[in-house]
Chains A and B, each alone.
Chain A
Amino acid sequence: MRNEELKIKITELLPMASFEEGGEWLNINLDANDWLPFARQMRNNEALFFDYLFCLTCIDWKAHLTMVYHLSSTKYRHTVVVKIKLDRAKPEIETVSRIWKTAEFHEREVYEMFGVNFLNHPDLRLLILPDGWEGKNPMLKDFEDPINMIRL
Chain B
Amino acid sequence: MIEDTAITEKGDLTINIGPQHPATHGVLHLAVTLNGETIKKVEPHLGYIHRSIEKMCESLTYRQFIYVTSRMDYLSAHINNHACALCVEKGMQIEVPERAQVIRVLMDELTRIASHELWWGAMAMDLGAFTPFFHAFRERETINDIMEETCGARLTMNYMVPGGVMADIHPNFQRKVKDFIKLYKQKIKEYDELLTGNIIFQNRMKGIGYLSAEDAISYGCTGPTARGSGVSSDIRKLYPYEVYDKISFDEILENEGDSFARYLVRIREMNESLKIIEQLIDHIPEGDYQAKTKAVLKLPKGEFYTRVETARGELGVYIVSEGATTPYRIKFRSPGFSNLSALDHMARGSKLGDLVAMMGTLDLVIPDIDR
Contacts and interface: CB of A to CB of B under 8 A. Distances in A.
A151 to B, nearest CB: 7
A60 B329 contact: yes
Contact of A53 (B45, B55, B220): B220
A104 B2 contact: yes
A5 B218 CA distance: 25
Nearest to B232: A74
B197 interface: no
B281 to A, nearest CB: 32
A54 B314 CA distance: 9
A129 B307 CA distance: 27
Top 6 nearest A-B pairs (CB, nearest first) are A102-B220, A128-B47, A105-B341, A57-B331, A101-B218, A55-B333
Contacts of B302: 23
A77 B231 CA distance: 13
Given A54-B220, A127-B46, A128-B50, A105 B3 contact: no
Given A55-B305, A101-B215, A138-B52, A152 B337 contact: no
A16 interface: no
A99 to B, nearest CB: 8
A52 interface: yes
5 contacts: A24-B305, A68-B318, A70-B316, A74-B217, A129-B50
A123 interface: yes
A54 B218 contact: no
Interface string A64-107: 00001010001001000000000000000000011011101110
Given A55-B316, A106-B337, A128-B50, 17 more contacts: A52-B217, A54-B220, A54-B316, A54-B333, A55-B333, A57-B331, A59-B329, A74-B233, A100-B220, A102-B220, A102-B338, A102-B341, A105-B340, A105-B341, A122-B3, A139-B55, A152-B60
A139 B54 contact: yes
Interface of A is mostly: loop
A152 B4 contact: no
A15 interface: no
Determine which residue in A25, A102, A130 has the highest number of CB atoms from chain B within 10 A of its CB, and name it. Answer: A102
B305 A70 contact: yes
Given A55-B333, A60-B329, A101-B218, A123 B59 contact: no
Nearest to A130: B47
Contacts of B316: 54-55, 70
Interface of A: 23-25, 51-55, 57, 59-60, 68, 70, 74, 77, 97-98, 100-102, 104-106, 109, 122-123, 127-130, 138-139, 149, 151-152
Contact of B341 (A23, A25, A59, A101): A101
A25 B239 CA distance: 14
Determine which residue in A23, A109, A128 has the highest number of CB atoms from chain B within 10 A of its CB, and name it. Answer: A128
Contacts, number: 85
B313 to A, nearest CB: 10
B370 interface: yes
Nearest to B317: A55
A59 B307 CA distance: 19
B231 A101 contact: no
Nearest to B1: A101
B320 interface: yes
A151 B59 CA distance: 8
Contacts of A138: 52, 55
Given A24-B305, A70-B305, A55 B219 contact: no
Nearest to B46: A128
Interface in B325-360: 328-329, 331, 333, 337-338, 340-342, 345
Given A52-B220, A105-B338, A139-B54, A128 B2 contact: no
A95 B206 CA distance: 35
A100 B55 contact: no
Interface in B131-157: none
B318 A55 contact: yes
B200 interface: no
Nearest to B54: A139
A23 B220 contact: no
B66 to A, nearest CB: 15
Given A52-B217, A54-B316, A55-B316, A97 B341 contact: no
Contacts of B47: 127-130
Nearest to B60: A152
Nearest to A83: B303
A77 B232 CA distance: 11
Contacts of B52: 138-139
B258 to A, nearest CB: 19
B238 interface: yes
